[in-house]
């Protein structure tokens, strides 16, 4: 069936290339109206007192919307940006503007699917059809070897299954033009009005990755990491790094908002393997994208359980809820330099390496015994690459309430520091007040003689906090 006019409701798919929803809408409609709703619920304060969407992700979203609009305009269309709840706004708007259908991409977690369901009910009540498409994963949900409800709980089994029995689809064909329905939408926000919501821009230190939102920047990063800097061939050796722009792909923020699709990355890996080199590193990037798929399908399989303290393991709640201790962790003032450096990086840039995330999360849940969902909520607010499934899924595993056979996910922080920041360069970069301590000593300032520290104007308990835990246990 061909629709006369359709709304394309953009969500976490802020791109034109390989966007199955947009592609289908264009194929099946005479003209379309691309719309994004800035949903006020995503900007509310959480029970713990921080915004659900913090500054970095907000900034990334603003830039992604402005870029999506520019890209749509280049194809003869435009992006309408309105403020409000999509399920309240879109069905009525469709009716008023004479649209017969609303096209959108499917999400998996409860808040998002509730919105979808309500929108569908309201649209149908207005006589407007809805068409939804799956497109957030590398493997399409319809191509999985088993129905989602029967997928293996353990990552390795999931991976082996899909690698053996499923294949990855091609990207959708490029759209040369997009037929646009020229209609006046009241209260549509201009670029300036979208940017204005963010307030003042914050400065960012040099030597760290600067994340600017939008499909164009995402594709530039891909081009630079794969082709210009030729780093894909060494990814497996460098991926556990901590400092700088290039130890890993840093594609996660663009993946999270859908500025780039995992399939686009996959097919670029294949091209690289053909034209440059194929080795365990090129495979490993795809391996990591399968982790991303795995968490998305686990979330679909287990529904709300992934947000619950008991997790999918139904484990008894025995967590501490000490706000003062939690705040020290959030602020990077635990007195454990490796943890603090990572938290300060997160607070200053919105990003933290995978190695860092595993360490700070383990410290919160295993050493401080604090409610793992608090940590997940803080990450939700702060991370520029926040992805509901990757974040809550990973936290659930660190919290020991996922279905992970590797029971003990405890990280010995000093051993980790020795393995990944042996000369203390990373800690020195982020913790100014300890920067004058040389070598690995920076990781255990509490063991250094008071005289020596005084000579460097460092006083434990004053210029840098006492450690919240006995650090001897890691020696």
Ligand X SMILES: Cc1cc2nc3c(=O)[nH]c(=O)nc-3n(C[C@H](O)[C@H](O)[C@H](O)COP(=O)(O)OP(=O)(O)OC[C@H]3O[C@@H](n4cnc5c(N)ncnc54)[C@H](O)[C@@H]3O)c2cc1C
Site of interaction with ligand X (CB under 6 A) = 239, 248-252, 255-256, 285, 288-289, 291-292, 295, 353-354, 357-358, 361, 379, 383, 385-387, 390-391, 394-395, 398
CB-nearer residue toward ligand X: 68 or 388: 388
**Closest C-alpha to 32, from 176, 131, 179, 130:** 179
CB-nearer residue toward ligand X: 90 or 285: 285
State in angstroms the smallest separation of the CB of 232 from ligand X: 10
State in angstroms the smallest separation of the CB of 120 from ligand X: 27
State in angstroms the smallest separation of the CB of 389 from ligand X: 8
DSSP for 212-238, written as a single string? --SHHHHHHHHIIIIIIS--GGGHHHH
Which SS3 state, helix, strand or coil, does residue 408 take? coil
CB-nearer residue toward ligand X: 19 or 358: 358
State in angstroms the smallest separation of the CB of 256 from ligand X: 5
CB-nearer residue toward ligand X: 99 or 398: 398
234: buried, middle or exposed (CB in 10 Å: 19+, 13-18, 0-12)? middle
Sheet containing 3-10: which strands, arranged edge to edge?
Answer: 80-83, 29-38, 3-10, 101-105, 129-133
Please tell me the distance from the alpha carbon of residue 7 to that of residue 25, in angstroms, as a whole number: 8
State in angstroms the smallest separation of the CB of 287 from ligand X: 8
Please tell me the distance from the alpha carbon of residue 363 to that of residue 208, in angstroms, as a whole number: 24
CB-nearer residue toward ligand X: 100 or 394: 394
CB-nearer residue toward ligand X: 29 or 377: 377
State in angstroms the smallest separation of the CB of 448 from ligand X: 31
CB-nearer residue toward ligand X: 72 or 396: 396
Please tell me the distance from the alpha carbon of residue 343 to that of residue 349, in angstroms, as a whole number: 10
Contact partners, residue 245, CB within 8 Å, separation at least 6: 208, 209
> Within 75-214, where are the H helices?
86-97, 110-125, 155-165, 191-196
Which SS3 state, helix, strand or coil, does residue 305 take? helix
CB-nearer residue toward ligand X: 62 or 398: 398
Please tell me the distance from the alpha carbon of residue 95 to that of residue 7, in angstroms, as a whole number: 11
State in angstroms the smallest separation of the CB of 286 from ligand X: 9
Query: Token digits for 61?
Result: 């979203």
State in angstroms the smallest separation of the CB of 359 from ligand X: 9
CA angle 131, 52, 39 (to 5 degrees): 35
């Amino acid at each position: 069936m061909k629709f006369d006019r359709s709304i394309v409701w953009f969500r976490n798919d802020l791109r034109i290339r390989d966007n199955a929803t947009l592609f289908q809408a264009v194929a099946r409609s005479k003209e379309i109206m691309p719309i994004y709703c800035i949903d006020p619920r995503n900007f509310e304060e959480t029970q713990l007192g921080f915004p659900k969407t913090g500054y970095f992700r907000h900034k990334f979203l603003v830039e992604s919307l402005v870029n999506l609009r520019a890209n749509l305009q280049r194809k003869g269309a435009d992006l309408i940006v309105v403020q409000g709840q999509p399920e309240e706004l879109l069905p009525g708007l469709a009716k008023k503007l004479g649209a017969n259908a609303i096209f959108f991409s499917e999400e998996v977690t409860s808040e998002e699917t509730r919105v979808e369901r309500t929108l569908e009910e309201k649209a149908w009540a207005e006589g407007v059809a809805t068409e939804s498409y799956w497109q957030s994963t590398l493997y399409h949900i319809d191509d999985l070897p088993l129905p989602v409800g029967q997928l293996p709980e353990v990552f390795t089994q999931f991976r082996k299954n899909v690698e053996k029995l499923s294949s990855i689809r091609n990207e959708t064909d490029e759209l040369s033009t997009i037929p646009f329905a020229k209609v006046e939408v009241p209260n549509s926000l201009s670029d300036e009005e979208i940017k204005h919501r963010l307030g003042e821009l914050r400065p960012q230190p040099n030597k760290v990755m600067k994340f600017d939102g939008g499909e164009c920047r995402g594709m530039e990063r891909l081009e630079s990491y794969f082709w210009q800097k030729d780093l894909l061939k060494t990814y497996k050796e460098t991926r556990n790094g901590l400092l700088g722009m290039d130890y890993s792909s840093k594609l996660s923020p663009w993946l999270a908002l859908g500025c780039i699709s995992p399939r686009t990355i996959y097919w670029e890996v294949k091209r690289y393997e053909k034209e440059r080199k194929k080795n365990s590193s090129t495979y490993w990037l795809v391996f990591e994208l399968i982790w991303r798929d795995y968490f998305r399908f686990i979330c679909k399989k287990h529904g709300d359980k992934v947000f619950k303290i008991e997790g999918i393991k139904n484990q008894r709640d025995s967590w501490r809820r000490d706000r003062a201790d939690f705040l020290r962790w959030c602020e990077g003032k635990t007195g454990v330099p490796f943890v603090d450096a990572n938290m300060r990086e997160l607070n200053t840039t919105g990003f933290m390496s995978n190695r860092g995330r595993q360490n700070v999360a383990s410290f919160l849940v295993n050493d401080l015994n604090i409610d793992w969902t608090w940590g997940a909520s803080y990450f939700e607010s702060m991370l520029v690459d926040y992805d509901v499934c990757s974040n809550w899924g990973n936290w659930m595993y660190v919290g020991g309430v996922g279905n992970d056979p590797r029971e003990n996910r405890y990280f010995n922080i000093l051993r980790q520091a020795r393995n990944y920041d042996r000369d203390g360069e990373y800690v020195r970069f982020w913790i100014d007040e300890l920067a004058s301590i040389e070598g690995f000593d920076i990781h255990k300032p509490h063991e250094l003689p008071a005289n020596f520290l005084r000579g460097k104007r460092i006083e434990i308990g004053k210029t840098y906090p006492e450690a919240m835990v006995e650090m001897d246990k890691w020696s």
